[in-house]
Amino acid sequence: MIHRYQGLVALAAAIAAATAFAAEIRVQCYSDGNECEVTGDLAKRFEAKNPGTKIIIDKVPYKAVVETLPVQLAAGEGPDIARVTDLGGLNKYYLDITPFLGARTKYWEDNFGPTLKWLRASPADKGIYGMMTQLTVTGLFVNKTLFEQAKVPIPPATATWDDWMEAGKKVAAATKTPFVMAMDRSGPNAVLAMLWPHLPKAAGAKETVTDMVNPRGFLPADRGYWTYTGSLTTPPCSEGVSWIVMTTPIELSGEQLAAFTRLINDNNRPVQKLNGRTILTDAVSIVAANR
């Protein structure tokens, strides 16, 4: 399921210090509804309670938050507050506002406690960096294989959520899948986050990565796998390729996936029949019948 977790985070000391002395605070905001208008109303109320403080709302397209803001922050520039979706991925640029909250810390923990960790760098991180504003579900990742196995047509573009739920229930029942839909809160992949800023801007272009990358980060902690004889996924799809597929997938965020698919589209061959092939695991052999 494609989803967007959205939060306001402090990116510089100006906002935290604003209650102590006058300041100009810049807030970068994108909107797919009335979010920036609501933020603007909150800004006016804050200015009224803190004379001399000026809050400037910079309304930008969502693409600027995803692509331009990380570059600005890496260069030591950017706004004081921003509405972001790459919650944990931008953590190194966040300001921990805990020292400025004082007695209000409990209020934040009581009201935002379950989601504060989404903005943190690790389980050991106890900082408070901002607050969640909303969760927007914008679309679905559909498991076409399960739909095909269940012989259930994929709903058309005009389908409603109720239509998708009805179709999903049929698929789950037919394939004995324990759930119909799921939301993923895993956030961006930390290893890919080191590489994705260096993705080429066009196919065939090359980029140099100077950061040290541990390739173990591309593998899950559970190293169980399936293996079988298959083919290349790109033309001419030559056969005789030994595939090793990890039984536990690694995860990446919707933004990371979108950045990848902008460069490479349809990079996998359609699902093929087993045609009598044997699938092996790291523990036992499974002789699969044709389907």
Q: What is the pLDDT of residue 127?
A: 92
The per-residue pLDDT for range 16-30, each reduced to its tens digit, is 444 445 578 999 998
Return all residues near 217 (Cβ < 8 A) that are at least 6 apart.
190, 191
For 2-137, CATH number out of 1.10.287.3240, 2.60.34.10, 3.40.190.10, 3.40.47.10 equals 3.40.190.10
Length of the chain: 291
Q: Which residue has the higher pLDDT, 290 or 11?
A: 11
**Confidence band of 211 (pLDDT split at 50, 70, 90):** confident
Q: Which residue spans of the chain are classified as CATH 3.40.190.10?
A: 2-137
CATH number of 186-291: 3.10.200.10
DSSP conformational letter for 137: E
Residue 18 neighbours by CB distance under 10 Å: 21
Q: What is the pLDDT of residue 152?
A: 95
Q: Which residue spans of the chain are classified as CATH 3.10.200.10?
A: 186-291
d(CA 172, CA 5): 27
**Confidence band of 10 (pLDDT split at 50, 70, 90):** low
